Amino acid sequence: MKLKGSMLDADGHLIERDEELLEYMEAPYKGNNTLLGFPFFPTLDGYQRGAIMARLGIHKGYSINAKTWIDFLDGTGIESTVLYPTAGLAFNMIQDPTWAVPLARAYNNWFTDKFHKASPQRLRAVALVPIQDMPEAVKELRRAVTELGMVGAVLGANGAELGVRKPLGDPSLWPLYEEAERLDVPVALHGAPSASLGINFFYRFAQTHALEHPIAQIIQLTSMVMEGVFERFPKLRVAYLEAGAGWVPYIMDRLDRSFEVWSGKQVQEFSPWLKKRPSEYIRSGRIYFNCEGGEITLPYALKRIGHTAVLFASDFPHETNIERAKHEIEELMHHEELSEEAKQAIFHDNIVRFYGPRLTKQADRAAAL
């Protein structure tokens, strides 16, 4: 099919290098090589992800720069991407707020300087925000959006009971959601760490990878819906990424059942902010999920949540290269059970709606220069 508008990518990735980030650190860290004796971000879990990638053999190298990304976009026919961290997906595990704040600033400045300036109309990103210090998180989101041109915020879906030891629906995070709503930018939840999800005993990565994303996203969707985040912030847009969409109908049914069973006449076993059945919020048009080409259950998921809630995400360069990405695009484009309207929404319309006017306005400004 021919899309009305260009094909967009809702979720690609950067590969952070501590040596590069050091250049963007503020005092007292600026130029201090002591920092390079330890990783800037906590490790995701007990796996050496680089070793796994090397065994897969799908990449000749893993140094990802702006040119690498432009070549990928050109090779797949994708017009632009929104980029997410890799090592930084463990950001919520950071214990020390006085480190989290400057690291977030350095990461956001590094992306802007090394990637966004190279191709402002094609390479955009969501900001790391240090929710270990909520006033600073709000401040950094505002700076990243209004000064750097970033298009939202990313929150780790699993803090592994370290650093930020609260679910993301906790009211202590509400000032960040209020600011995102005011700025009209989304918040995206992205997993990766597998620690403390009850699967630490796996030693073959395929088992861990199959579960680490959906378990974390189920936990956070449950927290945010049942704590009333979407009632309190009626314009907030949130995406739960890299877990596919097939799990969503299941958790809708589970949450609706809990809502009905535990709606006591005197004491309710959920937040007083929760006013409707959880599934109504999930189908409200403000909550988004990614989809994957091989998801057999995708047509049913779209029937339950609507085709306006699902985003195409390349995930490059993690487990994919140009050839694999093209295959996944073809799977979705030629999926016989998806309507032309759904495909248009998945590859373009939903991504524009999720990231909002800053995505398109920024591209228009860049094209005019």
Summarised one tens digit per residue, pLDDT across range 119-133 is: 999 999 999 999 999
In the sheet where 80-84 sits, what is the strand order? 8-13, 80-84, 123-125
Give the mean model confidence (pLDDT) for residues 276-287: 97
The residue to which tokens 């591209």 are assigned = 363
Model pLDDT, residue 367: 44
| The pair of three-digit structure tokens given for residue 304, joined into one six-digit string | 């339950």
Q: What angle do CA 15, 207, 323 make, to 5 degrees?
A: 50
pTM listed for this prediction = 0.95
What's the distance, Cα to Cα, between the start and end of the chain in Å? 31
Strand partners, 241: 190
Return the amino acid letter for 116.
Answer: H
The residue to which tokens 């053999």 are assigned = 57
Model pLDDT, residue 224: 98
Rounded to an integer, what distance in angstroms lies between the CA atom of residue 279 and that of residue 339? 23
Scored b (16 or more CB within 10 A) or e, 263-282 reads eeeeeeebbebbeebbbebb
**272 contacts: CB under 8 Å, gap ≥ 6:** 228
In the CATH scheme, what architecture does the domain 8-368 have? Alpha-Beta Barrel (3.20)
Rounded to an integer, what distance in angstroms lies between the CA atom of residue 87 and that of residue 333? 31
Strand partners, 190: 156, 241
pLDDT, tens digit, 9 for 90 and up, residues 106-116: 999 999 999 99
Model pLDDT, residue 361: 65
3-state secondary structure of 288: strand
Query: With 0-12 CB in 10 A as exposed, 13-18 as middle and 19+ as buried, what is 50?
Result: exposed
Model pLDDT, residue 366: 44
Number of H helices and number of E strands within the chain? 15, 9
Q: Domain ranges for the chain, please list them.
A: 8-368
Quick one: pLDDT band at residue 264, thresholds 50, 70, 90? confident
Instruction: Determine contact, residues 286/225, Cβ cutoff 8 Å.
Output: no
Strand partners, 287: 238
Give the mean model confidence (pLDDT) for residues 14-36: 96
pLDDT over 50 (residue 368): no
